[in-house]
Amino acid sequence: MDFTLETEDIISMFMSILCGGIIGFEREYKSKAAGFRTIILISLGSTIFTIVSGHGAGSDDRVSANIITGIGFIGAGVIFKDQFSVRGLTTAAVIWTSAAIGMTTGIGYHALAFVFTIITLVILLLSTKIEQLISTMQKQKIISVTFRTPDFGLIKSLEAELNSKHLRIDPLEVSKDQDTLTVVWQVSGRKKYLVELNEKLAAIPDIISFA
């Protein structure tokens, strides 16, 4: 029994727990789906699989590929799509990154894994401030609106009502399907006013759906 080798593996596992704990703490603080325990276990599990593969339990490349595949299934489980947006992409990316950090500690690159952890933490901490900065800038989005009746006058009146100093609405396409009318708009404005636009559209009885 090689106690030196086992000691190195134990150090790798503790380093993995430390790195996963740092990232997991930030996720838990922000009340994300994958929190403190989950990120630690993902990082530790990736480390253990990497260590085992390094001791001849299988092809290193094959084990690494299977780790990535398995993490992909976990990441997909935290992604949710509602009518207006996709949520959980950042959490899925954090899970994927934590697994990569765990694999890095598993091959003994502890300093590199710690650097990756700090870089990941800095990105997560700065992302909110950067997103706030972006929200103050002009943004564009495409909105498809379906009206209950094929009345083209509804489109013109709604465009005149919604166009303001805060929003610019440009029609891209208009189509008619049986008794409904669908218009596609390109809307430009700050994020705050784009959210308010969704609220206004939801309150109009002549609109069946929009996305």
- Backbone phi, psi, residue 184, to 5°: -110, 125
Nearest by Cα to 24 from 8, 45, 43 = 43
- CA-CA distance, 57 to 64, in Å (whole number)? 12
Residue 154 and residue 127 share a domain: no
Last residue of one domain, picked from the residues 134, 165, 194: 134
| Residue type, position 133, single letter | L
Asked if 123 and 163 sit in the same domain, the reply is no
- Of 119, 134, 149, the residue that ends a domain is 134
Residue type at position 24: G
The domain that holds 143 is classified in CATH as 3.30.70.260
CA distances (Å), origin 181, targets 38, 146, 193, 197, 208: 47, 6, 25, 19, 10
pLDDT at 101: 94
Alpha-carbon span 117 to 97, nearest angstrom? 9
For 193, the domain range is: 139-210
Are residues 123 and 53 part of one domain? Answer: yes
Q: Say how many domains are in the chain.
A: 2
Identify the pLDDT of residue 164.
73
52 shares its domain with 121: yes
Looking at residue 60, what is its pLDDT? Answer: 60
Q: Is pTM, for the whole model, over 0.95? A: no
Could you read off the pLDDT of 32-60 as tens digits, one per residue?
878 899 999 999 999 998 888 877 655 56
- Same-domain check for residues 205 and 124: no
What are 173-202's pLDDT values in tens digits?
888 877 888 888 888 887 777 778 888 888
